[in-house]
Amino acid sequence: MKFSVRVSFPESGKYDWFEAVKKYKDILNVLKENINIIKIFHISNRIKNSIKQHYPIYYSEEEIALDFNKIFTFLKRKGFAGHLVLEYLPQFHPQLLPDAINLINTYEHV
């Protein structure tokens, strides 16, 4: 996996977590079916049972919708070699670098 931090809005051809969560209940099954064609993940969390999106993946002030520990562990086991791009709301931009470092430290050697 390659880790990136990107603040601008993404181009087409990305896997959008929010759209997937709205359409599918089990993200891991969606990933299993599509892992070979996905090259870039623009990732952020969302508040559970809400339309609020682009929250940090390690957000703890409200209940979040996605379990990124399971998702990243799955990606690492599958040998995902694409890019992970953090996509947060502007008020969470200070958390981009700490979250990216945490991801690298946690999953680089899994």
Closest by alpha carbon to 107, among 78, 95, 96, 89? 78
For 76, other C-beta atoms within 10 Å of its C-beta total: 15
For residue 58, the 8-state DSSP code is T
pLDDT digits (tens, 9 = 90+) for 4-20: 433 333 344 455 554 55
Distances (CA, A) of 4 to 29, 55, 61: 25, 16, 25
This prediction's pTM: 0.71
- Is a pLDDT exceeding 50 seen at residue 73? yes
Instruction: Classify 71 as helix, strand or coil.
Output: helix
First to last CA, the chain: 11
